[in-house]
Structure 1
Amino acid sequence: MTKPLEDIRVLDLSRVYAAPAGAVMLADLGADVIRVEQPGGTDSMRDWGPFLNGESTYYISANRNKRSITLNLKEQQGKEMFLELLKKSDVVIENFKTGTMEKLGLGYEELRNVNPRIVLCSVTGFGHTGPLSKAPGFDPVIQAMSGLMDVTGANDGEATRVGIPIADILTSLYVALSVTAALRQRDLTGEGQAIDLSLLDVQVSSMANVASAYLNTGMISERLGNGHNNVTPYQVFQCKDDPIMICVGSDGMFKKFALLLGHPEWGTDSRYVTNSVRKDNEVELVGQITRIIETKPAHEWLVKLEESGVPAGRVNNIAQALEQEQVIARDSVETMEHSVAGSVKLMKNPMRFSGLNIETLLPPPSLGEHTESVYKELLGLNEEQLKKLKETNVI
């Protein structure tokens, strides 16, 4: 089956999560993604547990469908080999500190002189301009600086980061989107370009309604735990056994919810009839709902809520989440054989197309797993040449 990016080759110099996960999206769409690391490795994520037969499960999560080679870019011969690979490639993805590629003699101008059609995607914490351009930016720092932590957590507790590297994850999506957009523009103009992606830019822009409320009214959203600054009832409620999330997103939906709770009169009550007045009387309303919800087990409420068309779901841990019938029905997990770790389970790409099958053809590679085969295929090197390059620490 033809894939949209199967004629695209990506040299992936990146490490940790944001940029590598973006490269995964390109690989899933058919691109030949080649991870390029220093001999001995440069990706600290390989050292983050837990481990499966010595392989990091964190690393495994962001590197499927790639090949891996080693190449010392600090050696002149290694740099020359990289530029030869560049001639046969379409995209370079890197997330070194600002200025590192230029110090290596591999900045965008140098790359485009060798291959004018190259697309360079650079990912940093703060971008290539501004007073923090050279500062390191890890995901929790970005969550703090972007305002995300200030609206996350209990109202009487401390600001809290999201439990997954959300700034990295969101940035990975922009990596894939910006690269495919640049490739499409190259189809029209014949020229590549440089992309400057910042984790802070991405996370600030993702503040969405919180940012819009401040920019347009001056409202600074408060930390409300599992509640909502603008809508009510829209939070977690404790049932007789487990907690569930209930989102009553409209006045019409509230009437259905009130009927479900045995209080149809709430739907016409002047204190609750619109979302605005419900927010004004939120403490009273939520208190009444809480006392009703806690009388029955979660599964009973979830059945009633589904029948009424009110969005709700159990608050699951990761085991419960992956064992849900819906997740299983969507075939969201796959198993592959890894050269070192053995049998590994991977989350599948969530994109579903009517005429395109997103497949995982390659498990996440071990360091340098494809070094010899790639250099033989793309640079025409023989066994003796490869041996000498290893002896001199070029590969």
Structure 2
Amino acid sequence: MLNFMPGSLAGLRVVDLSRVLGGPYCTQILADHGAQVIKIEPPGGDETRQWGPPFEGDTAAYFLGVNRNKLGVALDLSQDTDRIKLLDLLARADVLVENFKIGTMERWGIGYETLKERFPGLIHCRVSGFGADGPLGALPGYDAAVQALCGLMSVNGEAEGEPLRIGVPIVDLVTGMNAALGILMALREREMSGRGQFVESTLFDSALSMLHPHTPNWFCSGEDPQRSGNAHPNITPYDKFRTGSVDIFLAVGNNGQFANLCSVIDAPALAAHPHFESNGARSAHRSELRAELEQRFAAWDGEQLADTLIRNGVPCAPVLGLGAALGHPHTAHREMLVELDGYRGIASPIKLSRTPATYRSTPPALNQHERELFGEGDSADRRA
């Protein structure tokens, strides 16, 4: 039996009714840091168990990525007997996380207004697309559709290309992070008031919150941003560049970094050129600067150039594939890979010095912990 140092959230009990990504990502953050998370799935399971290939056995990698460190049971909450079991769990819980279609919990008689009377200290967190009311209230939300609606797609893509979905479900992930933050804030306030409260994290709000610097630029100018590919709308050179081998990404944020760049590539005169001596001038002469830089970069191996630049104070990196990124020595140094009983995953990015994240159990099989949580035979008849 492995022994683990108690995490920062040890003693916290979370009942997780959420499915797919935003909610499960939130609860995995809490579980990694010591909370006991009980994942409750419908009898058919979280639909992401089938979102493959690839699969590990009969479970899709998608599910495995956000459900470790959780106990798993299956309940049919449309049935009175299973709602009673849920209420028994909530009586001993600190947090409830759910992302049902709005109105579902109320139809079952376990909405927030009902639960807060029965469990006044419970933190009830709802992850939803748009919230319960307003012009889009209670409508279903999915990451890609919200990327489109909130302007994220409009700023992503090549300058002459079409709006492009960001290649990871960034809205779902940030919504899950915001949910975890909200839960921790509510728990902190409960220490003073003794009362729980309702926490809401929506895809719509989270998507709008991510649009920096485009929203402040719009507030200032009133002009819709244009797609710029890899280039930054405000800073130059902040873009992908060709070299003699792999491409690199430069993220030069000030004149000192630009001078260092010019020194490394033996072109100090570029830093003093009137077209390049300030960020404003460089931004006005982007194409000219790109030609000057790529002419010199062609003599360099991209990975060597990136390493030389960053060690000389110039933010830069080679453009790597996922396998190369996971195999990078710094990935191992930062302990960002988890291996546990055949499971592999990405570790928590939240590092605490005394109470670090721990990886105690692999993602549960469907209904794996029924006996542990409810005793023997409680749902055998239901599944038959």
Answer yes or no: same fold by TM over 0.5: yes
Residues 209-268 of structure 1: CA distance to partner in whole angstroms, max 9, x if unpaired? 111111122232211111110000111111112111111110111111122222212222
Write the mapping of 1:186-197 to structure 2, written as runs, cut at 5 A.
186-197=190-201
How far the C-alpha of 1:171 sits from its partner, in A, is 1.0
1:391 lines up with 2:370 in the alignment: no
| Cα displacement (A) at 1:178 | 0.5
The answer to whether the aligner puts 1:150 opposite 2:150 as a matched pair is no
Paired AA for residue 381 in structure 2: E
Cα separation, 2, equivalents of 1:90 and 1:9: 5
Is the 1:120–1:194 contact (alpha carbons within 8 Å) kept by the matching residues of 2? yes
Q: How does 1:362-381 map to 2 (within 5 A)?
A: 362-376=361-375
Residue equivalent to 2:349: 350
Query: Partner of 2:119 in structure 1?
Result: 115
Q: Distance in 2 between matches of 1:392 and 1:153?
A: 50
Q: CA deviation at 1:129?
A: 2.0
Matched to 2:50, the amino acid is D
- Residues 128 and 196 in structure 1, CA contact (< 8 A), matched pair in contact too: no
Please tell me whether the aligned partners of residues 153 and 159 of structure 1 are also in contact (alpha carbons under 8 angstroms): yes
1:352–1:358: 8 Å Cα contact kept in structure 2? yes
- Superposed displacement of residue 80, structure 1: 1.8
Tell me which residue corresponds to 1:329.
333
Q: Is the 8 A contact 1:122 1:195 kept in 2?
A: yes
Q: Name 1:308's counterpart in structure 2.
A: 312
Matches within 5 A, 1:56-135: 56-135=60-139
Q: Which AA in structure 2 matches 1:351? A: I
In 2, distance between residues paired with 1:326 and 1:20?
Answer: 27
Q: Which blocks of at least 5 consecutive residues in structure 2 are unaligned?
A: none
Deviation at 1:95, TM superposition (A): 0.5
How far does the alpha carbon of each residue in 1:125-165 deviate from its partner, in whole angstroms, 9 at most, with x for none? 11122111222111111111121111111111111111111
Q: Please tell me the residue identity of whatever aligns with 1:107.
A: G
Give the distance between the partners of 2:308 and 2:189, measured in 1 at CA.
Answer: 50
User: Offset of 1:356 from its aligned partner?
Assistant: 1.2
1:100 CA drift (Å)? 1.2
Q: What's the offset of the Cα at 1:14?
A: 0.3
Q: Does 1:179 align with 2:169?
A: no
- Aligned partner of 2:37 in structure 1 is 33
> What is the Cα deviation at residue 29 of structure 1?
1.6
Partner of 1:257: 261
Q: Is the 8 A contact 2:96 2:122 kept in 1?
A: yes
Computed over aligned residues only, the root mean square deviation of the Cα atoms, in angstroms, reads: 1.4
Deviations along 1:176-222, one digit per CA (max 9) or x if unpaired, are 11101111111110110111211110010111211111112223221
TM-superposition CA deviations, 1:14-69 (whole Å, max 9, x none)? 0001110100111112111001112222x111111110122211100000110001
Alignment partner, residue 340 of structure 1 = none
8 Å Cα contact 2:147-2:165 kept in structure 1: yes
Deviations 1:81-120 (Å, cap 9, x if unpaired)? 2112111111110011111111111110111121110111
Partners of 2:93 and 2:304 lie apart in 1 by 56
Q: Structure 1 pair 303/9, CA: closer, same or farther in 2 (3 Å)?
A: closer
Whole-angstrom CA distance in 2 between matches of 1:11 and 1:229: 43
CA contact (8 A) 2:147 2:153 kept: yes
State the secondary structure of the residue aligned to 1:78.
Answer: helix
Q: TM-score, normalised by structure 2?
A: 0.95
Determine if contact 1:83/1:114 at 8 Å carries over to the other structure.
no
**Is 1:47–2:50 an aligned residue pair?**
yes
- Structure 1 residues 245 and 36, CA, compared in 2 at 3 Å: closer, same or farther? same
Whole-angstrom CA distance in 2 between matches of 1:110 and 1:210: 41
Identify the residue that residue 28 of structure 2 maps to in structure 1. 24
Q: Which residue of 2 aligns with 1:204?
A: 208
Residues of 2 paired with 1:8 and 1:307: CA distance?
A: 43
Distance 2:111 2:77 in 1: 13
CA distance in 1, matches of 2:263, 2:146: 43
TM-score (norm: length of structure 1): 0.93
Query: Within 5 A, what are the aligned runs for 1:6-25?
Result: 6-25=10-29
CA distance in 2, matches of 1:98, 1:307: 51
Q: Distance in 2 between matches of 1:392 and 1:367?
A: 14
Matched to 1:391, the amino acid is D
The question of whether the paired residues in 1 share the 8 Å contact of 2:13 and 2:37 is answered with yes
- 1:363 and 1:230 map into 2 onto residues whose CA distance is 44
Q: Distance in 2 between matches of 1:291 and 1:219?
A: 34
SS across alignment from 1:308: coil
Q: 2:291 is matched with which residue?
A: 287
Q: 3-state SS of the aligned residue for 2:213?
A: helix
Structure 1 residue identity aligned to 2:12: I
